[in-house]
């Protein structure tokens, strides 16, 4: 492993300038504090594939992944382990937006670049590379509100309570639905991004609210929710948001469901890795990462799946296993385009 070195050269040699001696080898730690879905597994795999792709550019990127179900202190231990190992960068899918500030400061002090993905963090010593989770929710909520013509009873099935991405999503759909006097959110429940829990939650909601018009449900649970809707023979009566998994895209296509899905691609960590390597090489972003509530975010585009592009999306995941999620990421060339 080599750290980024700055080689000062003589004025006689290069007219008084200095050039960066770019490292050809980097070690990057990947921290995933929750493994409750295949989405997370795919996220790590895509990041590892992105690291391998740098070999074609003459850069060796070694990744070390720590992926486990841990609480916030456990994930802080992930970061401390990486600091002890002397990694060049840490990419983290964080379990808290604020709890990592002290340990990220320690990483910065050690000369380690920190990038969060999938959920934003408050630390001024970290950069966020990923989608706007609030914007993600607003896109699908707008689709549902438009589909219902701004009127109807709606239920929401959310992910892990307290998780930063989940809380931003909740704020997003509430804001959109709040703009429509005719839309009433009659209940909100949590199903922890688990398909079976999503199915049970939807079954319970239908038993209590048999006359609902719409369902706003997050990825990881939509397939289960739709299964309960179809089992209740209400697929023709209810509009509900959907999934980006291949198994659900197949169900969506076959049954012509009234659905729309914002895409949070598992490729976000791969995108973050490509940005990290370029920053480690001393490259500077054309536009500073100043978006988001903490003013440290570099937002990626949010694809959307609807009846307009469902056929194209289905073709792109053809042959993949059912748990595979429709994805996208910044290629090395895409990431380079963001830099001077």
Q: What is the pLDDT of residues 34-62, one digit of tens each?
A: 887 889 999 999 999 999 999 999 999 99
pLDDT of residue 17: 26
pLDDT tens for the chain, 340 residues: list them.
444 332 322 222 222 222 234 448 999 999 999 887 889 999 999 999 999 999 999 999 999 999 998 999 999 999 999 999 999 999 999 999 999 999 999 999 999 999 999 999 999 999 999 999 999 999 999 999 999 999 999 999 999 998 888 999 999 999 999 999 999 999 999 999 999 999 999 999 999 999 999 999 998 899 999 999 999 999 999 999 999 999 999 999 999 999 999 999 999 999 999 999 999 999 999 999 999 999 999 999 999 999 999 999 999 999 999 999 999 999 999 999 999 9
Residue 86 sits at φ, ψ, to 5 deg, of: 70, 35
Give, in order, the Cα–Cα distances in Å from 197 to each of 62, 223, 227, 231, 264: 37, 11, 12, 16, 20
Going along the chain from its start, the domains and CATH numbers come out as: 5-131+265-302+325-336 (3.40.50.2300), 133-262 (3.40.50.2300)
State the burial class of residue 283 (Cβ atoms within 10 Å of its Cβ: 0-12, 13-18, 19+): middle
pLDDT of residue 316: 97
Residue 41 in 3-state DSSP?
A: helix
Q: Hunting for tokens 């996208």 — which residue is that?
A: 328
* DSSP 8-state code for residue 118: S
pLDDT of residue 24: 84
CA neighbor of 83 nearest in space, from 62, 114, 52, 61: 114
pLDDT of residue 40: 93
pTM for the model stands at 0.87
Straight-line distance from the first to the last Cα atom of the chain, in angstroms, rounded to the nearest whole number: 25
pLDDT of residue 9: 26
Q: What is the pLDDT of residues 60-116, one digit of tens each?
A: 999 999 999 899 999 999 999 999 999 999 999 999 999 999 999 999 999 999 999
Share of the chain above pLDDT 70, in %: 93
């Amino acid at each position: 492993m080599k750290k980024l070195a700055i080689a000062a050269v003589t004025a006689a040699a290069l007219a008084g300038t200095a050039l960066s001696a770019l490292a050809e080898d980097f070690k990057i730690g990947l921290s995933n504090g929750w493994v409750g879905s295949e989405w997370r597994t795919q996220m790590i795999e895509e990041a590892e594939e992105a690291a391998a792709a740098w070999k074609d550019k003459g850069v060796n990127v070694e990744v070390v992944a720590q992926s486990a179900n841990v609480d916030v202190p456990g994930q802080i231990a992930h970061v401390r382990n990486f600091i002890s190992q002397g990694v060049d960068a840490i990419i983290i899918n964080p379990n808290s937006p604020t709890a990592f500030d002290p340990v990220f400061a320690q990483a910065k002090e050690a000369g380690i670049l920190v990038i969060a993905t999938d959920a934003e963090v408050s630390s001024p010593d970290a950069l966020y590379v990923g989608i706007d989770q609030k914007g993600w929710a607003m896109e699908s909520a707008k689709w549902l509100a438009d589909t219902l013509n701004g009127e109807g009873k709606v239920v929401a099935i959310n992910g892990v309570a307290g998780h930063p991405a989940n809380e931003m999503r909740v704020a997003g759909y509430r804001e959109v639905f709040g703009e429509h006097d005719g839309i009433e959110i009659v209940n909100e429940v949590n199903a922890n991004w688990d398909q079976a829990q999503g199915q049970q939650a939807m079954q319970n909601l239908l038993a209590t609210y048999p006359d609902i018009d719409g369902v706003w449900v997050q990825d990881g649970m939509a397939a289960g929710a739709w299964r309960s809707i179809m089992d209740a023979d209400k697929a023709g009566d209810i509009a509900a948001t959907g999934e980006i998994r291949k198994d659900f895209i197949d169900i969506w296509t076959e049954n012509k469901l009234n659905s729309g899905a914002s895409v949070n691609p598992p490729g976000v960590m791969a995108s973050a890795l490509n940005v990290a390597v370029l920053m480690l090489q001393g490259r500077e972003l054309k536009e500073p990462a100043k978006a988001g509530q903490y003013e440290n975010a570099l937002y990626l585009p949010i694809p959307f799946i609807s009846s307009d592009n469902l056929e194209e999306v289905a073709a792109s995941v053809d042959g993949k296993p059912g748990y595979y999620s429709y994805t996208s990421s910044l290629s090395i060339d895409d990431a380079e385009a963001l830099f001077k």
